[in-house]
Amino acid sequence: MKPQPVVITGKVKLKHFDPGYCGRRVKEETKVETDALGRRLGDSQQLLYANSSRAVLLIFQGMDASGKDGSVRSVLKHVNPAGVEVANFKVPSVEEMAHDYLWRIHHAVPRRGNIGVFNRSHYESVLAERVLGLVPRKVWTRRYEEIVDFEQILAANRVLILKFYLHISREEQAARFKERLENPEKNWKFSHADLTTRQHWDDYIDAYQDMLNRTSHPAARWHVVPADRNWYRDYVIADTVMRAVDGLKLKWPKPTEDLSKIRIK
């Protein structure tokens, strides 16, 4: 059975999506398939690098504990690290604050031939900044159009953009927070800031819903991924990325000189 990410092409309501959906798949079999997809992606990354004509940008957004780090680790574990550029956007620096909000984002876009990963992204400007009231409504509302324009520029310049919203339930988030508290190896992941964010759960869901509805466009569609089951989440993402990369139809570049005349002594 094929995975079922929801590709946003119209108006949606997140309450209609089941974060625990797994399509009656078997966990262990699915994990094997995910690993196989990751190995294929590793091979395809070499082809992407050899051509250096396209870049691939993976954007991950989701509530705390939805599995952004885990998804990146699982899907890209067989890819050559030299061909991957990862950006994790935190509080802007003084230099970044001196520019427009997309300046640091554009700077982090991967070069052609590489796969880029945004673990959180420019979308925080219509999520956290909106929910926490860091900018006025008139500012964050105009950003939807600005972000779409920005992504269209990237796509026109041969950047393949794949956007994933990891849809986790409030109950599953609570369970993962408790695990972070109880497991010594995961204590470091816990932050009181996560609990503060959790208090704004409904506001964030509204913000994510508007994000999906207003910034999913033909050049960069949003994919809603059920995230309560890590193993299914990773499979959906790996399959989606692999099919998109296959769709580029890349071929090995031809040599720039006649290799038949070269002799190794």
Going along the chain from its start, the domains and CATH numbers come out as 7-248 (3.40.50.300)
Rounded mean pLDDT, 55-75 = 96
Chain Cα centroid distance, residue 155: 16
pLDDT tens for 73-131 read: 999 999 999 999 999 988 889 999 999 999 999 999 999 999 999 999 999 999 999 99
pLDDT for res 78: 97
Token pair of 124 as six digits:
């925080």
pLDDT for res 258: 82
Residues 138 and 147: their CA atoms lie apart, in Å, by: 15
Rounded mean pLDDT, 201-225 = 97
Which residues contact residue 28 at a Cβ distance below 8 angstroms, ignoring those fewer than 6 apart? Answer: none
pLDDT for res 261: 81
Nearest to 120 by CA among 135, 105, 138: 105
Q: By three-state DSSP, how is residue 196 classified?
A: helix
Residues 221 and 76: their CA atoms lie apart, in Å, by: 21
Rounded mean pLDDT, 134-148 = 97
Looking up tokens 């509204």 gives 206
Decide if 240 contacts 59 (C-beta within 8 A).
no
Q: State the Cα torsion 22-27-30-31 to the nearest 10°.
A: 130
Residues 220 and 80: their CA atoms lie apart, in Å, by: 25
pLDDT for res 4: 60
